[in-house]
Structure formats: C-alpha cells, structure tokens
C-alpha cells in the first residue's frame, strides 16, 4: 500500500490534479480548501457546465476496486485560484 498526499492550486484553466495507477484498488480524497469558490472535477475537458462541483470546504472521495488504466483527474475553479488538498491511497 502506498499513500501520496499533496496540495495543488487550480485556476480557471483545466489542470491535471491526480493520476491513479493501473490495476490497483485505491481511494482518492480531495478537499477544497477555499472558503467561497467552487471547483469542478472531471476529465481533460472539465468545465463548470460538465464537471462535478466541489463546493468550498467540501471533501470528495472515491473508492475503486480496480482502475482500468491510468485515470487522470482534472479540476477547474469557477473564479481565481483555489488550493486543493489531495490524498491518494493505492493498494
């Protein structure tokens, strides 16, 4: 089992924030550290219109039994630059 923890900043451009490895079960947790700005999660074309909203202060978590390939996760903020705290657990 491995654990990776990082902080990233996202802005109004889509930014890759995490990559999950092939064939491992694992968990990803993402916390929006901002107190007022929503971030949207999704694929490489994420936008406010098609992304999963992560409101200010909220935590997103996903658990998978087996990722089918390298799954990249992207984020975009609705305004300005927002810091996210990300933890990925593999294994």
Tell me the pLDDT tens digit for each residue of 6-33. Answer: 556 665 666 677 766 556 677 788 899 9
Task: Identify the residue with better confidence: 44 or 4.
Answer: 44
Calculate the average pLDDT of the chain. Answer: 78
Distance CA 73, CA 36 (A): 22
Contacts of 83 (CB under 8 A, 6+ apart): 7, 8, 9, 33, 34
CB contact at 8 A, 20 and 88 = yes
Task: Please tell me the number of Cα atoms within 13 Å of 83 on its side-chain side.
Answer: 6
């Amino acid at each position: 089992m491995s654990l990776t923890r990082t902080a990233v900043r996202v802005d109004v451009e889509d930014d890759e924030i995490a990559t999950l490895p092939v064939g491992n079960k694992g968990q990803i947790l993402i916390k929006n550290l901002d107190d007022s700005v929503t971030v949207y999660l999704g694929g490489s074309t994420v936008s406010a219109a098609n992304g999963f909203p992560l409101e200010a202060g909220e935590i997103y978590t996903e658990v998978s039994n087996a990722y089918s390939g390298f799954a990249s996760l992207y984020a975009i903020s609705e305004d300005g630059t927002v810091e996210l705290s990300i933890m990925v657990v593999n294994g």
